[in-house]
Structure 1
Amino acid sequence: MDTSIDRSFGTELEVGDLYLVPFAHAVQKFAGKDPADWQDRWGHAIKIKRYSQWYVTSDGTLLNSNGTRLMWTYMDENGQIKNASSSKDADRSRWQGAELISPIMHKSEIDDFHAELADLIDIAKKQGAIFSPELRHTTHVHVGAEDFTFEDMKKLLISFKKASPWIEENLVPKNARYPVRWLKKHNMAAIEEAENVEQLFEAYRLRPSGEAVPEDNFVWRKVMNPGPWMKWYLSNEKESAPTIEFRCFPSTDDPGRIKNWVEWCLNFVETGEVE
């Protein structure tokens, strides 16, 4: 791992109550794009990854204060909750909640990220957004890991294991769905003794999807889960670059807190230190 590189990152911020489509169009305008070009990643034939700009997408896990759930239900003009269909644009126009996805940015751009995020949070709040940990709205941070070797991966997984009690106490919302205590099931001796990717997957109870990763040619593939608050998004040359995702942060309307979390994640990936 090269700690001197301008490491990449990205974020996902979940919000509730605002209407998905108007917010998506507003973010398109903010990004200098035509609102008519916006396309949700769910319910459309073409699923687009637009990590070069700020973007909005639906997420079926998002809850709203009126009892509706994004993609699943909406409230009609009579105040009744109705089932929704992702294939119907008429239903989509009534969906509430959104996931705001940042473009891929780099450590050197952290101040630009903060300023742009502040503007977009302001837009969301003006459209009625709520940022509710009580409704399990969260913030996710992705950190680029395209330069990681097997040894780098092993070192970071060990650091994450050791740091999990601190993460649970200081970062994870108290009403979180899956406690980090789940990580105590892992066999630390087996993790530390692993000599190749397969042994590490076995020790961490991870399973590669499809064919095994060759020991002499470490290739990132699909998704691996060291635990409920960390994911490795692994890819090959035809997909996006590999990232490490941290899923332990609550949603917030404070862009400064999110900036601090990004900086924490970048530092943890490169040093394994939590404070």
Structure 2
Amino acid sequence: MRKRTEPFRPNEIAECNFGIELELSTSAHVSAGEVARVLGSHTSIDVKDLTEDFVQARNRTDICSKFELVSPVLAGGSGIAEIDQVLKALGTISSVEVGRSMGFHVHVDVSKFSCKELAKVCQNFLPIERAMDSFMPPSRREDVQQYCRSNEKVVESAALSNCETLAELASVMNPGEHPGVARYYKLNLQNLVTGRQPTIEFRQHSGTSNGSKIKNWVMFCVAFVHNSVKLDDASLMVTANDDDHLFEMIMVDVINDRYLRDFYRNRHNELHKDHHGEGGGSCCEGCAARGQCAAKFLPV
């Protein structure tokens, strides 16, 4: 049999609604308002200023500008195309950076699914969380990051089968005193409790401005949700012999996309060569030393 030399093409994304949130930074001389002005001429994405939040968290008075890009409701292939437009516009702002504490969140609309179907999604997520960790940088694995805590460490899979309401399901998956705290899990169901929007949120991915990483993770999350509800046996993954076997089962039995399988297999290998993962946490040596930001940026 002749060995395949051409890369696989990704499957078409399901025609469902989704949204993304990207945490990023620029020089202290480029405000979130200026970022919003640049992107506003190209896209309808919202820009939230996070600088004050990061100052409070790190007790610093001189840091880069931190901001979050929040997409409108996107859908299917046209939504992926709009992400391309956002990233193209973002590329006109020189040296946009990502810190290790920053995240990239994907919301997937689940308004068409029943509580039992969503329980399948959760039951699939628990055993594969550690395999998904393997293609994330170390700062996003296990319970290292307080804003994307491990579901697997706190949830009993058997309890999910007994949930009869979305509130019960969210309570089991995201234990916490109130939604503002309980939402900080890798798989967050709190929007279904608060009624803010009919989505579940994947918080596991590290912050990034890389187009391939962003689009592939969106496709992974959407495929994971939509294919999980179709499985007859939602606990199939517990039969895996080891993490490598588990990875293959995810890609074959749940994601069912050879392009994404190859992408995340390569990502896994890259991260295991580079134990520092991605993102240095600072945009320049000055910021790393908690001093004056020395980053050089082009006019916006």
Counterpart CA distance in 1 for 2:51 and 2:121 is 31
Correspondence 1:12 to 2:24: no
Q: Are the equivalent residues in 2 in contact too, given 1:12–1:139 (CA < 8 A)?
A: yes
Superposed displacement of residue 71, structure 1:
11
What letter corresponds to residue 234 of structure 1 in structure 2? Answer: L
Q: Which amino acid aligns with 2:139?
A: N
TM score, norm. by length of structure 1: 0.64
Check 1:268–1:59 CA distance in 2 against 1; reply closer, same or farther (3 A cut).
Answer: same
Give, in whole Å, the separation in 2 of the partners of 1:142 and 1:205.
Answer: 16
Q: Structure 1 stretches of 5 or more lacking a match? A: 32-52, 76-80, 82-94, 210-221
Structure 1 equivalent of residue 115 of structure 2: 150
Give the Å deviation of 1:23: 1.1
The 1:60/1:96 distance shift into structure 2, 3 A limit, reads closer
Residue of structure 1 in register with 2:187 after alignment: 230
After superposition, residues 30-49 of structure 1 pair within 5 angstroms as 30-31=42-43
Quote how far apart the aligned CAs of 1:153 are.
Answer: 1.6
Q: Which residue in 2 is equivalent to 1:92?
A: none
Q: In structure 2, what is the equivalent of residue 107 of structure 1?
A: 76
* Aligned length, in residue pairs: 210
Query: Given residue 145 of structure 1, which amino acid in structure 2 is its aligned partner?
Result: V
Correspondence for 1:29 among 41, 47, 55:
41
- How far residue 72 of structure 1 moved from its aligned partner, in angstroms, is 7.2
**Residue of structure 1 in register with 2:211 after alignment:** 255
Q: 1:62 to 1:267 in 2, by over 3 A?
A: farther
Report the alpha carbon displacement of residue 147 of structure 1 after superposing the two structures with TM.
1.1
Counterpart Cα distance in 1 of 2:182 and 2:102: 20
Which residue is 2:297 aligned to?
none
- Of 119, 126, 131, which residue of structure 1 is paired with 2:98? 131
Gaps of 5+ in 2: 1-12, 229-253, 256-260, 262-300
- Contact 2:188–2:200 (8 Å) recurs in 1: yes
Q: How far has the Cα of 1:106 moved from its partner?
A: 0.6
CA distance in 2, matches of 1:146, 1:111: 20
Matching of residue 269 in structure 1 with residue 238 in structure 2:
no
- Give the AA of the match of 1:9: F
Most deviating of 22-31 and 245-254:
22-31
Contact 2:174–2:188, Cα closer than 8 Å, also in 1 = no
8 Å Cα contact 1:60/1:70 also seen in 2? no
SS state of the match for residue 170, structure 1? Answer: coil
Cα separation, 1, equivalents of 2:128 and 2:53? 28
For 1:252, what is the secondary structure of its paired residue?
coil
RCO greater where, 1 or 2, for CA within 8 Å and sep 6 or more? 2
Distance 1:152 1:115 in 2: 31
